[in-house]
Amino acid sequence: MLGQIMNLAEQEGLVRESDFMELSERQIIERLDEKADKFPKLYKLYKTFRNMTEISHTVEPLPQDEYFCVSLKVKQRYINPLVKTKDGTSRLYELSPKARNIIEDFITFSDTPYGCVKLV
């Protein structure tokens, strides 16, 4: 959502691409706080972003005019670090039952296809 907000702010001329390198996050947020209300689509997303408190997990995307939804089907990444032991090196997964359980839980976790936020 934040990425779309920043893209819209740039498209509307509220910020320039160079502002993302030259201004602080605080300065960009202050500019949005002051001027986003002049751009209805941007303001709706920005106001939702600033006030959202929960995400609904759904099987299908909810209506676009009422919700902002994203796909939660993303590649899962994790690190199974190489650990030096007195006998050489091994992966943490092989050394720690607790780490093995955490990694297996992570690998087998499946979320709903979509996460949606009610637009304000």
Confidence at residue 65, expressed as pLDDT on a 0 to 100 scale = 94
pLDDT per position as a tens digit, 6-22:
999 999 999 999 999 99
How is residue 46 written in tokens? 């920005």
Residue 61 is given by DSSP the state: P
Confidence at residue 9, expressed as pLDDT on a 0 to 100 scale = 97
Confidence at residue 18, expressed as pLDDT on a 0 to 100 scale = 97
Confidence at residue 105, expressed as pLDDT on a 0 to 100 scale = 96
| pTM, to two decimals | 0.76
Of 118, 15, 106, 16, residue with least CA distance to 68:
118
pLDDT per position as a tens digit, 76-85:
899 999 999 9
Confidence at residue 27, expressed as pLDDT on a 0 to 100 scale = 97
Q: Which residues of the chain have pLDDT under 70?
A: none
Q: What ranges do the domains of the chain cover?
A: 1-51, 53-120
Of 117, 8, 7, residue with least CA distance to 64:
117
